[in-house]
A and B are shown apart, each in its own frame.
Chain A
């Protein structure tokens, strides 16, 4: 079995350079690669293009990279929770491409499935469609959207094995599996790293062939963005 294990986040991201295009998994703060983000902030790489559904919050997730001005361009679907992001966007410091969430996911999927483009009805008749090719199928208009082309995909899984197989937990799955398939180099951080053979092959979400580097992360905060509860009784 091919061994994909690296020592930790710093080794995993060591060849990410200024100007790289990164995919980062997660939805809100759920299922984000915390250890790799910390390492990217420490390394101080700049001029990054980040493809991620959200941009973190001011003091967590991709928000930490925005604070250090490491991001040149964000490609996201929703950025409403991040005041520093909105400030950099409205002042023109940050380039932003907002795209529909399903288009974001499916452009990742297309890259992972080896397809150059997809057709989606999302955004037809809106500013998202500007400059894009429209094709009509069975009487309905669709936009042609290209597969993403990312240098690195950085994902977070619950469990992984030394062969790079990944299992996600609950809704922290979100964009992680499609991004894992889409990167030229895919880095996976996991809460628990086990030997090959310990995970049931029937339960694997991401086969190890898509993962180039894997490590067990440390000190997961797994911050909750909106803590909503009901009272007993």
Chain B
């Protein structure tokens, strides 16, 4: 079973040289720490920055320079800064190659819910609805089950949706799964030491698995 950093490390392997990537808040942010040597990527932050760099050194924080998670960050050589309308222009016109974001629920036909629990929690969708409606490739990084032990991979989402029929791949602490065009979670890889049966028990939606599902290789 993986920890959050392990999930991020596995997702980093999906990133190709030359990609422009948008990382959501939470586990997706950690992916930046594991981008392989020699792979050139540009991170987009939807508040208006291309070329997001690491956190600043202590004492060098700049209140005017933050990412979409409101964290202090830095720029890199080649960075550019722009307004919010332009930022979502590059998202809508599919200039961003890959979006990685968290989720509360994902359905077997690729629907995602991640912004609201009616009556309990309302944070808002931020840029997530724009990203999932337009991105060419979307990977969800999340825990396989919620805090109550219930599967977050479902036949149909129960929470208000963020987007429909848009998620292609999920990486959890247990597995890597593709969502098939005809519906269903196709088990691609198991986390080290996790059995297919355990993944099946943790997945409420339709799970498809071949006889031999390989273990993840993280590095």
What is A's interface to B at a CB cutoff of 8 Å? Answer: 27-31, 53, 76-81, 86, 89-90, 96, 98-106, 108-109, 120-128, 158, 169-178, 205, 222-232
Contacts of B64 in A (CB 8 A): 30-31, 158, 169-172, 222
- The 8 A CB mask of B165-203 against A (1 = contact, 0 = none) is 100000000000000000000000000000000000000
A84 to chain B, nearest CB (A): 13
On chain A, the residues within 8 Å of B161 by CB distance are 125-127
Q: What are 8 inter-chain pairs, A to B, with CB distance below 8 A? A: A77-B125, A98-B124, A100-B128, A101-B127, A120-B92, A169-B64, A171-B49, A178-B83
Contact of A76 among B73, B124, B133, B165 (CB under 8 A): B124
What residues on B are CB-neighbors of A106 within 8 Å? 85, 88-89
B-side residues, CB < 8 A to A, are 45-49, 54-73, 81-85, 87-89, 91-92, 111, 115-116, 119, 121-130, 133-134, 160-165
Chain A positions within 8 Å of B165 at CB level: 125
Chain B residue, CB-CB nearest to A53: B84
Q: Which chain B residues lie closer than 8 Å to A171 at the CB level?
A: 45, 47-49, 64-67, 81
Q: How far is the CA of A210 from the CA of B63 in the complex (A)?
A: 26
Asked whether, in the complex, the Cβ of B66 is within 8 Å of the Cβ of A225, the reply is: yes
Known contacts A100-B127, A125-B161, A125-B164; is-contact A120 B133 (Cβ 8 Å): yes
Whether the pair B66, A27 counts as a contact (CB closer than 8 A) is yes
Given A90-B119, A102-B91, A177-B83, decide whether A170 and B62 contact each other with a Cβ distance below 8 A. Answer: yes
Q: A30-B66, A222-B64, A226-B70 are in contact. Are A178 and B84 (CB under 8 A)?
A: yes
- Check A230–B54 contact: CB distance below 8 A: yes
Complex Cα gap A53–B85 (Å):
12
B57 touches A101 (CB 8 A): no
A228 proximity list for chain B (CB < 8 A): 55, 61, 71-73
CA distance A141 to B121 in the complex (A): 29
- Determine if B83 and A229 form an interchain contact, defined as CB atoms under 8 angstroms apart: no
Known contacts A30-B70, A81-B70, A122-B133: does B92 contact A230 (CB below 8 Å)? Answer: no
In the assembly, what is the distance between CA of A227 and CA of B73, in Å?
9
Roughly how many angstroms separate A226 CA and B47 CA in the complex, as a whole number? 15
Residue of B with least CB distance to A99? B125
Residues of the B chain whose Cβ atoms lie less than 8 Å from the Cβ of A176: 83
A128 to B129, CA, bound (A): 9
When chains A and B are docked, how far (Å) is the Cα of A232 from the Cα of B54? 12
A222 touches B63 (CB 8 A): yes
Chain A positions within 8 Å of B81 at CB level: 170-171, 173
Q: Decide: B72 and A124 in contact? CB cutoff 8 A.
A: no
Bound Cα distance from A161 to B124, whole angstroms: 36
- Which residues of chain B have C-beta atoms less than 8 A from A104's C-beta? 84
CA distance A86 to B92 in the complex (A): 30
A28 and B83 contacting across the interface, CB-CB below 8 Å: no
B68 nearest CB neighbor, chain A only: A27
Residue from A102, A222, A226 whose CB has the most chain B CB atoms within 10 Å:
A102
Using known A-B contacts A126-B160, A126-B163, A173-B48, determine if residue A226 contacts B72 with beta carbons closer than 8 Å.
Answer: yes
| B84 and A126 contact, CB distance less than 8 A | no
B219 to chain A, nearest CB (A): 22
A102 vs B66: C-alpha distance when bound (angstroms): 18
- Contact (Cβ within 8 A) B47 A174: yes
**Shortest distance in angstroms between B101's beta carbon and chain A's nearest beta carbon?**
13
B46 touches A121 (CB 8 A): no
Give Cα distance in the complex from A172 to B65, angstroms: 7
Q: Rank and list the top 6 A-B pairs by shortest CB-CB distance, nearest first.
A: A102-B88, A102-B130, A80-B123, A125-B164, A105-B84, A100-B129
Which of A175, A224, A231 is within 8 Å of B83, CB to CB? Answer: A175
Query: Which residues of the partner chain B approach A80 to less than 8 Å between Cβ atoms?
Result: 123-124
Contacts of A77 in B (CB 8 A): 124-127
Contact indicator B49/A78 (Cβ below 8 Å): no
Among the interface residues A53, A96, A158, A171, which one has the most CB atoms of the partner chain B within 10 A?
A: A171
Closest to A82 in B: B123
User: Distance in Å from the Cβ of A206 to the closest Cβ of chain B?
Assistant: 10
Residues of chain A within 8 A of B62, CB atoms compared: 170
